[in-house]
Amino acid sequence: MVEKIRWGLLSTANINRRVIPAIRMSARGELTAVASRSQAKSDAYAAQWEIPQAFGSYEAMLESDAVDAVYIGLPNRLHAEWSIKAMRAGKHVLCEKPFALTLAEVDEMTAVSQQTGMKLAEAFMYRHHPQTKIVGEWVRNGRLGDIVLVRSHFSFKLENLANVRMIPELGGGSLWDVGVYPLSLAQFVMGGAPQQVWGRQWVGASSGVDESFAGQMDYGNGRVAQISSGFRTPFHTWAEIIGTNGRLTLNRPFIGLDERRQLLFYHPDDTIEEVRVPQQELYLGEIEDMHAAIFDDQPNYLTLAETRNHIRTVLALYESAQTGRVVHLA
Ligand SMILES: NC(=O)c1ccc[n+]([C@@H]2O[C@H](COP(=O)([O-])OP(=O)(O)OC[C@H]3O[C@@H](n4cnc5c(N)ncnc54)[C@H](OP(=O)(O)O)[C@@H]3O)[C@@H](O)[C@H]2O)c1
């Protein structure tokens, strides 16, 4: 067993710039390679980020012995294909959200992980942040009483039709891109998938993807989540968790270190208490979690069962938006 996990970046995606410092700051990881569809692009990227090895195809990196784990920041449509190829080539995989676009893909990825023994996880970085863990503790230890409602939103303005998020064939759309954050937070708080969902979308005439989405999820026993996402309105991310003994509000729950990030507890008498949250680099947790899975054989903190519920719920919401009907999850 190597002493450090040697990471390879599968593509020169924009998001890499957040993950690279986390790999470098982790105790048991190092960044050894990048792969791109073009050798020239890969070379330039490796030089810019001081990465030792640059591969001119994804296949070449997967064939190499210089990499133990890959980080997949490809367009959504390619997540399943390359996660499976990577695991079959003997690489552990941290795959960006959304993990896949169909349940068949999720199930195949999970089966290949089991067959090959390669670790596999969805890269939902905020789930590993201390703020989200505090929310989880407060929900589970009953501090908020019975949870009645989760409301959450994530939007930013996007007008560039060439962006991967605007291309239906690549798995574009605001629910797939940013709506999955509020959705996954709701599942985390409610402890599973909803019983039924209702969704409404606004599909751009030029893009053909949902440029805004609103959904309601019914978890039974009077527990409901309302989520929204979009590319049409300025940057905004926020969440509120309302229980019978008070509520938590999370200002900017899904983004990195920011002095405006705040977790507030509203007591039953409406007095406000700021909950102290330890600072932690947002992307470090998902990397350390992979190291614990690989070196210590610990189960990944975000389980593939949770991931399956994310995808199941997104698909049901899209079905509801397309049919105009409430969709019941089996
Ligand atoms: N967790 C987070 O905070 C976060 C934030 C942003 C995005 N994401 C996720 O990360 C993924 C990538 O997002 P991004 O904004 O980084 O995307 P991006 O900058 O467009 O990068 C995607 C990369 O995929 C490769 N690629 C392969 N086939 C492609 C194709 N047909 N069209 C375009 N690119 C192709 C390209 O790399 P080469 O040219 O080098 O091959 C490209 O650089 C998405 O799944 C997104 O949901 C996560």
Per-residue model confidence (pLDDT) at position 256: 74
Distance 76 CA to ligand 1 centre (A): 8
C-alpha 241 – ligand 1 centre gap (Å): 31
Q: Report pLDDT for 207.
A: 98
Rounded to the nearest angstrom, the distance between the alpha carbon of 329 and the centre of ligand 1 is 30
Residue type (1 letter), 290: M
Ligand 1 site, residue 285, Cβ cutoff 6 A: no
d(CA 99, CA 82): 11
Cβ-Cβ contacts under 8 Å for 33 (sequence gap 6 or more): 6, 7, 8, 9, 51, 52, 53, 54, 55, 61, 64, 66, 67
8 Å CB contact between 14 and 39? no
Residue 2 confidence (pLDDT): 54
pLDDT < 70 positions in the chain? 1-2, 257
- 163-180 per-position pLDDT tens digit: 999 999 999 999 999 999
Distance in Å, CA 165 to ligand 1 centroid? 9
Pocket probe for ligand 1: among 14, 23, 281, the residue whose CB has the most ligand atoms within 8 Å is 14
pLDDT in the model for residue 261 = 86
> Which residue CA neighbors atom 26 of ligand 1 most closely?
74
Domains and CATH numbers, the chain: 5-123 (3.40.50.720), 127-283+311-328 (3.30.360.10)
